[in-house]
Amino acid sequence: MSQTPAIYGLMAEFLTPEAILSATRRARQAGYRAMDAYTPYTVDGLSVELGMQPSRIPSVVLVGGLVGCGAAYFMQYFAMAVDYPVNAGGRPYHSWPAFIPIAFEVLILVASLAAFLSMLLLNGLPHPNHPVFNVPEFVRASQDRFFLCIEASDAQFALESTTAFLASLEPIGEVHIVPIAPEAVEEPIDEDENKAQTSSELHPLETR
């Protein structure tokens, strides 16, 4: 017997950026919060309709750059003025103009690493597979289709009511169930085997 697959959410497909914007706006007005949109290119205003918060990556990059700059400057100051001071031509031990190039280079290096690592961590990467890939129609998300997915983790999510709501947004085709496991997408049922099981249940004595 086939079991109902674990559901990640429900997905609706749209043809134009205006349609996905309108659908996302109506979904948010209806009270849905755990949802995401997938588009082949950037749609202006979509992040606002999704209620996305500003990215924390710029703050992480700023802190990383300041830490790198401060560490590089202190390293040079400690080496030249504290640990091994050398009087070279009467210049001061704390010759700060000479420390700036290295401090700047380390600032760029640490800020770049902070941007890369924070992008991976905050986006939950690496993530080679995602449940939305289990919907065959989703292959066109990188071509010419726009998708809105309401996730099952949403407090307002209910299979029947959410399906009816997405259908009311006038998507292309039917509302797609997004299973978590890829093997749950296509589970063909053998009609002969199904008939045999039914027959066995109705006439148990005949099968002995």
Q: Kindly write down the DSSP assignment for every residue of the chain, as one continuous string.
A: -PPPPPEEEEEEEESSHHHHHHHHHHHHHTT--SEEEE-SS--TTHHHHHTPPPPSHHHHHHHHHHHHHHHHHHHHHIIIIIIS---STT--S--HHHHHHHHHHHHHHHHHHHHHHHHHHHTT------GGGGSGGGGGGGTT-EEEEEETTSTT--HHHHHHHHHHT--SSPPEEEESSGGGS-----HHHHHHHHHHHH-GGGG-
Residue 158 in domain: yes
Q: Does residue 99 form part of some domain?
A: yes
Same-domain status, 161 and 61: no
- Residue 26 domain-assigned (yes or no): yes
> Is there a domain that residue 108 lies in?
yes
Whether residue 118 is found in the same domain as residue 146: no
Cα–chain center distance at 8: 14
Q: Residue 201 domain-assigned?
A: no
92 shares its domain with 181: no
Reading the block at residue 147, the tokens are 């998708």
Residue at 78 is within a domain: yes
Which pLDDT does position 49 carry in this prediction?
A: 94
> Of 93, 122, 151, which marks where a domain is finished?
122
Pair (22, 117) in one structural domain: no
Let me know whether 115 and 17 are in one domain: no
The two three-digit tokens of residue 108, written as one number: 């760029």
* Contact partners, residue 59, CB within 8 Å, separation at least 6: none
Q: Would you state the pLDDT for residue 203?
A: 44
**pLDDT average per 10 residues of sequence, the chain (208 residues):** 71 97 97 96 95 92 97 96 87 91 97 96 88 94 96 95 96 94 54 44 42
> Is residue 107 within 8 Å of residue 72, measured between CB atoms?
yes
Q: Which domain holds residue 159?
A: 7-54+128-186
Per-residue model confidence (pLDDT) at position 127 = 83
Q: Are residues 152 and 109 in the same domain?
A: no
Per-residue pLDDT reduced to its tens digit, 75-123: 999 999 999 998 888 888 998 999 999 999 999 999 999 999 999 999 8
Q: Is residue 199 situated within a structural domain?
A: no
68 and 36, same domain (yes or no): no
Q: Which two tokens stand for residue 113?
A: 């690493």
> Is 144 part of any domain?
yes
Q: Which amino acid is at 114?
A: A
| Domain co-membership, 136 together with 105 | no
Whether residues 87 and 112 share a domain: the answer is: yes
Number of domains in the chain: 2
Query: Do both 16 and 107 map to the same domain?
Result: no
